[in-house]
Amino acid sequence: MTTMQTLSRRDFIAASGAFTLAGCSLPKGGCSYTVPILGDTHFDETQWGRYHVGWKPRDERDANGRKREFARNADMWRERMPSLISAAAKCAKPTDAFILQVGDLVQGDCPDSATATLMFKDAVAACRKGFGNLPFVTVAGNHDIRNGAREAYDRFFVPFHSRELGRRFTSTTFCFRQGPDLWIVADFMKPDVNVIFSALEKSDDARYVFFVCHSPVTPTDNWGFFWFLFGKPEDTHLRRKLWALLMRRRAIVLCGHTHYAELNEWRGPEGLLTQFSANSVFTNPSLAQPKLITADPASWGKIWVEKHVTDAPVEHDGHYTTRTRKQSLELVAEYAQGLVRYEKYTAAGHYRLNVSDSGVSIDFYGGASQSVTKSFVLRS
């Protein structure tokens, strides 16, 4: 038996140097692996009491909205999410490198840090159930840090990821190598620009660059239009710098937040960028069968933005955006340039990323299915 076979998965990762900082010289060929992916999971309890007692809403509107979400999550986690997680675990492969969850791991809305930490621990245990000791990677979502849970999230997940991936991280934005590939995990609520841009600028030797963020890195043609990485008007210079680097590195963005399954791809003289949004919010059994909303790049911006965006401030999680309708349509026009693929579905389930020299694809397993429902080619 070789040394590789006698080590645990985490020990082998650490010993082999598979997780290393960007900029290291690594061979580009001969490495294939898979990654199980869970979209937003909004982990919660089946009865309101364990995590939300003592939670104080901002106002009556906030209270009513949150209670609707609690009821939604209770229904999901009582009837559907355990079977979805179980199906994902039963589809595990020897080639699985780690589990990726793309943010909004939990519902949040806890009354204090101790309860938020308990919710994080319970959510990780629930979402990795059946996967054995496979490393678990998540990224901060807006729900994860709601109601003052920012400090609790940082205190729990910075050392958590250090243990899971076998190296020392100091931020909720971090990067690692999986074989010849660069993975950047970006906290869109508190992005560490030094980590993001340094990793991208030193990634010439990477076979593929995967950029993980809870929010998309672009506006989306739905209710989440205003919430994307560096999406504030004052961050326009950072947004455009990120876009240029991602395009140049031919990056693949993996995200969530919108509760749709969506594939976007941009091509231009400066490069290529592919973005895939995953959703696991299994609110209805019908979501196991994806329903196509559009497959027409020319429809981008016309489904929701043109119909609903006005000059009125828009609120999301207690934060407001004051981007005008004119500015919003200019943003649509900016990202419409070079958009060559646009597929959007109402769908929920679990996913598997397949990575090899020959390309990158994602298999979607509808709901709690253990057979592939639909496949998406991201690179060929």
Encode pLDDT of 19-76 as tens digits. Answer: 443 333 344 567 999 999 999 999 999 877 789 999 998 889 889 999 999 999 999 9
> Count H helices, E strands: the chain?
10, 16
Whether CATH 3.30.1330.10 fits 32-379: no
pLDDT (tens digit per residue) in 66-78: 999 999 999 999 9
**Residue pLDDT, tens place only, 216-230:** 999 999 988 989 999
Distance CA 280, CA 256 (A): 9
pLDDT exceeds 70 at position 361? yes
Residue that the structure tokens 């929701």 belong to: 304
Q: What is the pLDDT of residue 110?
A: 95
- Output the DSSP codes for 338-374: TEEEEEEEE--EEEEEEEETTEEEEEEEETT-SS--E
Structure-block tokens of residue 279: 């959703």
Most confident of 5-14, 258-267, 305-314: 258-267
DSSP designation for 173: S
Residue 200 Cα to chain centre, angstroms: 18
pLDDT in tens, 167-207: 999 999 999 999 999 999 999 999 999 999 999 999 999 99
Give residue 291's identity as a one-letter amino acid code: K
Q: What is the residue-averaged pLDDT of the chain?
A: 91
Q: Are 130 and 89 in contact (CB under 8 A)?
A: yes
Segment 277-305 shows an average pLDDT of: 96
Instruction: Give the SS3 label for residue 348.
Output: coil
Q: What is the pLDDT of residue 13?
A: 43
pTM over 0.85: yes
pLDDT at 197: 98
Phi, psi for residue 334 in degrees, rounded to 5: -60, -45
* Residue pair 288/373 in contact by the 8 Å Cβ criterion: yes
Q: 162 in the Ramachandran plot: left (φ > 0), alpha (ψ -120 to 50) or beta?
A: alpha
pLDDT of residue 16: 36
Quick: pLDDT tens for 133-158. Answer: 999 999 999 999 999 999 999 999 99
- Give me the residue spans of the domains in the chain: 32-379
5: confidence class by pLDDT, cuts 50, 70, 90: very low
Rounded Cα gap, residues 49 and 45, in angstroms: 8
Q: Does 12 score more than 60 pLDDT?
A: no
For the residues 2-30, what does the mean pLDDT come to? 40
| DSSP code string of 9-42 | HHHHHHHHT-S--TT-----SS--EEEEEE-B--
- Does residue 374 surpass a pLDDT of 90? yes
CA–CA distance from 256 to each of 41, 103, 213 (Å)? 10, 7, 8
pLDDT digits (tens, 9 = 90+) for 240-281: 999 999 999 999 999 999 999 999 999 999 999 999 999 999
Q: What is the mean pLDDT of residues 114-140?
A: 97
Do 210 and 186 contact (CB within 8 A), yes or no? no
**Residue-level pLDDT at 24:** 31
Whether residue 4 has pLDDT greater than 50: no
What was the pLDDT predicted at 134?
A: 97
